[in-house]
Structure 1
Amino acid sequence: MKQAAAPPDAQWSGPVHAGVKAPDPILLPDPALRFAATAQRLDKLAAGHPMDAWLRFMARLARAQHVVATTLGPATALSPAVVAQAAEARLPPLAADGHRREAIWQQGLALLLEYIDGSDLPLAAREAMEQLRRSEAATLDQLADDFLRGELAATDAGVVVYVAAALQVYFTCSAARLRIEGLRLLEQRALCPCCGSPSVSGLITATGVIPGTRYLYCSLCSTAWNHVRAMCITCGGTRQLFLQGIEGDPGVIKAETCGDCHTYVKLLYQQHDMQVDPYADDLASLGLDILVAEDGYGRHAPNPLLLMG
């Protein structure tokens, strides 16, 4: 569904005059920081959490992603001409469902599996890792294609988390190589301007050029982009938006629900915790997802590490 009208380029489309500054429309990821920050935050959130063991596993996975991102750096480098052509057509240059991946993403997957200590994992998890190690290149590429197109079979539930994690590293490292001045926001504002994927959550800033700005964080390539507040990112509605949170919660994370399309998106408030992380805090707040779902709202888009439930 078409979102708010896109500006002619990636520049601010609001008022511009003396004393008014514009927020950066697009923030490219830093692979050297992205996964390490998520791992650190997950470790902190795991302490005393009902899902302590699972969050610590996800932190372990994020640390393995950090190793791959900073040692192998699996990525592709798009030519300026390709990026310019995509921008002119209002298409993401790294389109997740159409980009021809470099084979190095599979090397990233192999390294990821090597750096995850699976000795204390359940048998099913260890078997899934071994299945991936034995898989041929064509099989791995098919799994990646199915994941990116949302066509995974239930029988792939055990391996999808590792495939998704490897693809996150590949697309994050690839997005980091793009030149910001060549990018444009998409007409479908809820989608990432780099790879076209939906966001995993939104962050309301407490610092920067304009505190209180909302940035959506890509679920795949870790790019962040500005999206106007008080507007549903699914249908563009503005009249039936409500913020819901867990009673007694410090207010770090809330669900913005839309009564028009009955979807929700999570919003993280940096003013309540400067260490908030769009990826870690999303995983640690599954209780909020359950409560909002019980009220009849569907999530705008799933976390790719939780696609199989």
Structure 2
Amino acid sequence: MSIRIIPEEEIKQAAGSFHNPPLLFSNPKNLYQHRAKRLRELAKAHPLADYLLFVADIVDSQARILQQHPIPQDPRLAKNNLSQPLLAEHPLSAQTWSRHPVWRELLTILLTDMKDKANEQSLQTIEWLEKTSDSELERLADKLLRQDFSQISSDKAVFIWAALSLYWLQLTQQIPHRSIAESSDNLHVCPVCASAPTASVIHLGSTQGLRYLHCSLCESEWNVVRAKCTNCDQSQHIDYWS
């Protein structure tokens, strides 16, 4: 693996390598507030304004749930259980991590919260999800996390993914936040949960000019040089847009 999360006992040894952090973890305290604000700004005079505003309401709900219904500490992520091999290879892999049922509780709260804001079509989806069995919800979640998007409709996926992402974001707060870059290869998926990135962003501030990929699931970001394709790891035929 090219970016490795390190246990606390290794942090002092690697302290000199943290000037430009290869891996950044989102701050739950302001992540959703900033996202909802941005979505509402984008919605102004936009042809998809209704959808953007609806998604902003979902993000607001995520923020409230995070504050009012935080998930408990997962014993598997206790300090004495976080070995170097575990942290080195996608410690919260979406494909292998055994989800705690608490993610479904987050979904239930989210669905209840969104009922008053939903239109008729969205309300039908919410009611369908509320009646769906736990086993079926887990099956749908598995398909989403495996990126088998053709097997689940987008109207259901948006709510399930919002709950899964809220769950994974909180898991990332339970593991060490230091990392080292061992190479610049194989960075096309998240070093934390092995999910695909949703966007590339160019940072300002202390990491100005650096490109980070933003994880679609756990909201972490990892550095990939701008002169490299994030899909094939090649640097040939790269075009820059300004």
Q: 1:206 to 1:114 in 2, by over 3 A?
A: same
Could you tell me which of 31, 50, 65 is aligned with 1:34?
31
Tell whether the 8 Å contact from 1:86 to 1:93 is kept in structure 2 after alignment: yes
Tell whether the 8 Å contact from 2:228 to 2:235 is kept in structure 1 after alignment: yes
Tell whether the 8 Å contact from 1:143 to 1:152 is kept in structure 2 after alignment: no
Q: Distance in 1 between matches of 2:5 and 2:128?
A: 45
Aligned to 2:100: 102
Aligned to 2:84: 84
Q: Is 1:194 matched with 2:192?
A: yes
Q: 1:34 to 1:139 in 2, by over 3 A?
A: same
SS of match in other structure, 2:164: helix
**Greater relative contact order structure (CA < 8 Å, 6+ sep):** 2
SS of match in other structure, 1:243: coil
Could you tell me which of 161, 168, 179 is aligned with 1:171?
168
Tell whether the 8 Å contact from 2:4 to 2:179 is kept in structure 1 after alignment: no
Superposition deviation, residue 124 in structure 1: 2.7
Could you tell me which of 125, 147, 150 is aligned with 1:150?
147
Tell whether the 8 Å contact from 2:227 to 2:235 is kept in structure 1 after alignment: yes
Aligned to 2:232: 235
Q: Deviations over 1:83-103 (max 9, x none)?
A: 52223xx41000001100111
Aligned to 2:203: 205
State the TM-score, normalizing by the size of structure 2. 0.84
What's the C-alpha RMSD, in Å, of the aligned pairs?
2.7
Superposition deviation, residue 178 in structure 1: 1.4
Could you tell me which of 6, 21, 24 is aligned with 2:2?
6
Aligned to 1:112: 110
Q: Deviations over 1:59-83 (max 9, x none)?
A: 0111111111222123653134345
Identity over aligned pairs, percent = 24
Superposition deviation, residue 206 in structure 1: 2.1
Tell whether the 8 Å contact from 1:192 to 1:199 is kept in structure 2 after alignment: yes
Tell whether the 8 Å contact from 2:62 to 2:166 is kept in structure 1 after alignment: yes
* Code of the aligned partner of 1:224: E
More displaced 10-residue stretch of structure 1: 103-112 or 138-147: 138-147
Q: Distance in 2 between matches of 1:184 and 1:72?
A: 34
Q: 1:84 to 1:236 in 2, by over 3 A?
A: same
State the TM-score, normalizing by the size of structure 1. 0.67
Aligned to 2:48: 51
Q: 1:83 to 1:42 in 2, by over 3 A?
A: farther
Q: Is 1:134 matched with 2:131?
A: yes
Tell whether the 8 Å contact from 1:75 to 1:105 is kept in structure 2 after alignment: no
- Count residues with an aligned counterpart: 230
Tell whether the 8 Å contact from 1:128 to 1:159 is kept in structure 2 after alignment: yes
Q: Distance in 1 between matches of 2:225 and 2:173?
A: 24
Tell whether the 8 Å contact from 1:83 to 1:183 is kept in structure 2 after alignment: no
List gaps (5 residues or longer) in structure 2. 11-15
SS of match in other structure, 1:217: strand
Could you tell me which of 1, 14, 24 is aligned with 2:21?
24
SS of match in other structure, 2:192: coil
SS of match in other structure, 1:242: coil
Instruction: Give the number of the structure whose residues are more often helix, by fraction.
Output: 2
* Code of the aligned partner of 2:220: T
Q: Distance in 1 between matches of 2:171 and 2:139?
A: 20
Q: Deviations over 1:158-197 (max 9, x none)?
A: 3111001110100011112211136777852121111111
Q: 1:47 to 1:62 in 2, by over 3 A?
A: same
